[in-house]
Amino acid sequence: MTASSETRTDERYFRRLVGTDVDQALAFFGGDYDFRAPSVRRTRQQTHWDFAGVGDERMSLRSSRFLVDLRSDSRVDDQFLIAWLRSGSSTITHDGESYDLAPGVPVVLPFASTYELHHRDIALNLVHLDAGFVRSLTGDDDFTFDVMRRPTADGTRVWQSVVRSYSSTWLDVDHELPATAERDIAEAFASAAIAAFPQRSRWRSSVTGNGPEHERLRRALEYVHDHAREPIGTPEIAAAAGLSPRGLQQSLRRHLDQTPGELLRAVRLDGARADLKRGDRDGTSVADVARAWGFGHLGRFSATYRARFGELPSESLRSR
């Protein structure tokens, strides 16, 4: 038996379902998460599942529970999914690596890529963010997150602050939200995700292969991404990767046709562009953004920025 309700208020929809039929649960969840050849083992005499969600075209907040042992392939191509476990256990396997979800710790699930899931009596919270909406905020049509990596402590605080501040308002479908408030909340969640969760750069994703050199190079790219705002250079990047400075230079040249300095400058430029694209025109200074990303000379920063992106930093800020 399944009880369901679906209503619409302002631009948000609200949906709630409760049931005991496994096939109905698979049909419902499989529609959103593209379950492929799911395998289910009962863990109790009577199965229980439920779902509640409130969303619009930009974002949805969801909670679900499925008290079975479920294995399946899954794939979502148009939304970034941020998930954290309330109870039960869940293992996600992607690109040959397995990750156990930790209770209360949010991660971004794989995007536009098939992954394996193994849920056991799970209760799960999820935030769905439309990929096009998030990318419009970053100004990068290819933007994506580096999946299954935990946020830093600061990132976790940013994310949890937004969840605490806005979830109750978003979920309260008995009170109408003005269109501007609805967009502001969706933008707050998307901006918090961008700030909190590691992002996959085209350099990191371009390193193909599974040999020791590839892994060291990925560590170098990860270090540059995580520390680009800091005064780092070739020695620090090489040490983080477990390479000598010369070994780092050779590896980068061989796989990415870049020097360490070129890599660091490109990551910093992309970070500055993202900050300018989502910055408040009245409250954001190009000079402050440049300094935050390690560019001490504003004129050279502007020239380098224009050469890379075809517009001045001030133009990126005004396009917000």
Q: How far apart are CA 108 and CA 88, in angstroms?
A: 18
pLDDT top residue among 93 and 4: 93
Predicted TM-score (pTM) above 0.85: no
Q: What is the mean pLDDT of residues 36-46?
A: 94
Q: What is the mean pLDDT of residues 245-254?
A: 93
Q: What is the mean pLDDT of residues 48-63?
A: 97
pLDDT at 243 over 80: yes
pLDDT top residue among 49 and 208: 49
Which domains, and CATH codes, for the chain? 2-196 (2.60.120.10), 202-318 (1.10.10.60)
Q: Are 52 and 89 in contact (CB under 8 A)?
A: no
Q: Half-sphere exposure of residue 23, counting CA atoms within 13 Å on the CB side?
A: 1
Q: What percent of the chain has pLDDT over 90?
A: 70
Q: What is the mean pLDDT of residues 181-201?
A: 90
The mean-pLDDT minimum among 7-11, 203-207, 210-214, 283-287 falls in 203-207
pLDDT at 1 over 80: no
Q: Looking up tokens 């979830």, which residue turns up?
A: 167
Query: Confidence band (pLDDT; 50, 70, 90) for 277?
Result: confident
Q: What percent of the chain has pLDDT over 70?
A: 92
10's tokens? 């302002």
pLDDT at 5 over 90: no
Q: What is the mean pLDDT of residues 11-36?
A: 94
pLDDT top residue among 201 and 112: 112
Q: Are 32 and 197 in contact (CB under 8 A)?
A: no
Q: What is the mean pLDDT of residues 188-208?
A: 78
Q: Are 49 and 20 in contact (CB under 8 A)?
A: yes
pLDDT of residue 206: 63
Q: What is the mean pLDDT of residues 300-320?
A: 88
Mean pLDDT of the chain: 90
pLDDT of residue 320: 54
Instruction: Note the pLDDT tens digit of each residue in 116-166.
Output: 999 999 999 999 999 999 999 888 888 899 889 888 888 899 999 999 999
The mean-pLDDT minimum among 19-28, 135-144, 264-273 falls in 135-144
Instruction: Note the pLDDT tens digit of each residue in 163-177.
Output: 999 999 999 999 999
Q: What is the mean pLDDT of residues 96-125?
A: 94
Q: Are 220 and 245 in contact (CB under 8 A)?
A: no
Q: How far apart are CA 303 and CA 245, in angstroms?
A: 29
Q: Are 263 and 207 in contact (CB under 8 A)?
A: no
Query: Confidence band (pLDDT; 50, 70, 90) for 213?
Result: confident
